[in-house]
Amino acid sequence: MILGEGGMAVVYKVWQPELERWVAVKKCKNPQDIPAFHKEAKLMAALKHPALAQIHALQHDELTMEFIEGDTLRNTTIDSNRLLEQLLDVLEYLHGEDVILKDLKPENIMILPNQTVKVLDLGIAKRIHEGTQLLLKGVGSEFYAPPEQYGHGTTDQRSDFYSLGATLYFCETREDPPPAWERLSKGTPLKTNNPLIEKLTQLKAQDRPENVQAIRQFLRPIPKKERPRPAEVSLRRTGSFPQSGLLAWNDEGLWVANQSLTNLHTRESFGKNLQPVRLVGSGQRLALACKDQLVVKDRGQWTQQKLKLKDLALFPQDLLLLSNHLVLREAGRRFATGWGRRYLLCAADDTRVAAGGPALKVWDRGGAPLWESSEACHALTFHGPFLFAVQKTGVVLLQAETGQRLTQIHTGPTKQIHLSDRHLIAIHDQQVSLWDYRQGQQL
C-alpha cells in the first residue's frame, strides 16, 4: 500500500511478520538521489524526539521507519493551541540540534488519534495532493515557504517560524495562505486577526521572533501594571525550573517565573486540572506527583502512570521517586528499602541523592551512604557542593558531601526553597522572598 510519493521517494505501508508490526518503508526512486537519501536517513536516525518518526533500518535504497497511525493536518483537525504547543516543543529541540526543518506544512504533520503530533519528512517534500502545490526543490512548498527560501535572504530558524505561522493559519481557516512570493510581488494581504500568526509570517526574517522562547514570551506579555510583586504572588505548589527561575502551579495550570519574580506567565496548560502535590522541571522534562498518579512530560510527550508518591526529584536522565521506598524509576536502583517510610521528601543532583523528614540521609550516585543526621527537615535542595535544608529554625546551608553545617541563611517559618546561581527564593505563607545567599541578605 502506497502512503505517499515525493520527488525522491515512494513510501509504502509494509507488514513485518517476524515482529508482527506495520512499518513505513521509504524507497528511493532514482539512483542519483541515493546520497541525499542516505543523508536524510542519517539525520533522522540522529534525532530523538517523541514528535519525530523513529528509524529502524537503512538498506541501500530503502529506509524502514516507524509507521504512524493517524491522518495529516491537511485531512483532519486539532485545536490550534494544542498544535502550537507541540510544534514549539519539536522546533525547540530541532533548533537546539542545529537542524532547520524547512518544510513544515499540513501534509508533513501527522495527527494521531490521541491528538499527539508527529512531524514527517525532514528534507523531502511529499506530493500527496498532486497539482495543489508547486513543489520547490530544496526550498519547501509554495504556500508555506518564507521569502528567504526563494533566495530573498539567508535561511535560519526564523524560516521555520514563517512555516509555523502559515501552518497555524491553515489550522484556523482550513485554507492555504497566499504564497510569500505573491505577498511580495502583488502585495496580497494575509487575512488574519491572530497577532501571533501575523508576527510569525512577517516577510522580513528580522521581524519574526528570534527563537522559540521569544514566541512563548509573545504569547503572554504582561503589562507592567499587572505584574505581581513578590509579596503578592499566591502559588499553590512550586518546584525548581533552573532555566527560568521558578516552576509553579495554581488554578490556571503550570506557570514559570523568572528569577526576580517580575514576569510570571503561563507555560503549560496541561496541568490545569491535575492539582499536583509536587512538581519538578529541568530542560525539556517536567514531572508532577499528583494524588494517585505520576505525570511526566519528556521532550514534548506527556505520560501518566498510577502511582502514590510522597515526593519526587529529577536525576540525570531519570526520576527519583519516594513512596515507601526511595528508588530511581528507570534504573530501578533502591536507595532506601523498607525504612523509606521514615522519609517524606527527596532531592537529587548529578552526583548525590538525599531524603528528609524526621531524619536526613545522603547517598552518592551509586547508592553508597555518605552521611545522615537526626535533625528533621521539610525541604531540601542541592546546589553545587551545598545542600540547603529547611529546618524548624529556618534555612540551613550544609556541605553536601560531609553534612557539615556551614551557616544559617534565613530564620523563621519557610515552606519551600528554590535556587539560582546566587539567589534563594523562599516560599512562606502567601509570600515569596528573594535572598542573596552568599551575602545572607534579603533582596
Domains of the chain: 2-66 (3.30.200.20), 72-218 (1.10.510.10), 231-442 (2.130.10.10)
- Determine the Cα angle at 326 with ends 321 and 329, to 5°: 45
When pLDDT is averaged across residues 402-421 and rounded to a whole number, the result is 74
Contact assessment for residue 398 and residue 406, using Cβ atoms and an 8 Å cutoff: yes
Give the tens place of pLDDT for each residue, 120-163: 876 543 322 333 444 333 445 788 989 887 766 678 889 999 99
Alpha-carbon distance values, 142 to 9, 97, 178, 205 (Å):
20, 26, 9, 17
Q: What per-residue string of b and e applies to 233-263 under the rule 16 or more CB within 10 Å gives b? A: bebebbbbbbebbbbbbbeebbbbbebebeb
Alpha-carbon distance values, 340 to 295, 358, 371, 373 (Å):
22, 11, 16, 15
When pLDDT is averaged across residues 232-248 and rounded to a whole number, the result is 45
CA 34 to chain centroid, in Å, comes to 34
Give the pLDDT band (50/70/90) at residue 209: very high
Model confidence at 80: pLDDT above 80 = yes
Q: Which pLDDT score, from 0 to 100, does residue 211 have?
A: 92
When pLDDT is averaged across residues 109-115 and rounded to a whole number, the result is 88
Model confidence at 242: pLDDT above 90 = no
Flag the least confident range among 39-48, 108-117, 333-342.
Answer: 333-342
Phi/psi at 67 (5° precision)? -85, 130
Q: Which pLDDT score, from 0 to 100, does residue 196 have?
A: 93
Is 412 or 399 the better-scoring residue by pLDDT?
A: 399
Give the tens place of pLDDT for each residue, 375-399: 888 888 888 788 888 888 778 888 8
Contact assessment for residue 22 and residue 66, using Cβ atoms and an 8 Å cutoff: no
Is 373 or 263 the better-scoring residue by pLDDT?
A: 373
Is 413 or 244 the better-scoring residue by pLDDT?
A: 413
Q: How many helices (H) and strands (E) does the chain have?
A: 6, 34
Give the tens place of pLDDT for each residue, 288-323: 777 778 877 765 667 777 878 877 787 766 777 777
Beta bridge partners of 303: 296
Is 390 or 250 the better-scoring residue by pLDDT?
A: 390
- What distance in Å separates the CA atoms of residue 347 and residue 321, rounded to the nearest whole number? 10
When pLDDT is averaged across residues 349-369 and rounded to a whole number, the result is 85
Three-state DSSP at 342 gives helix
Which triple of cell numbers denotes residue 294?
Answer: 505520576
Amino acid identity of 139?
A: V
- What distance in Å separates the CA atoms of residue 244 and residue 264, rounded to the nearest whole number? 10
- What distance in Å separates the CA atoms of residue 147 and residue 382, rounded to the nearest whole number? 48
Question: In the chain, pLDDT over 90 holds for what percent of residues?
Answer: 13
Q: Which pLDDT score, from 0 to 100, does residue 158 have?
A: 92
Q: Which pLDDT score, from 0 to 100, does residue 389 have?
A: 87
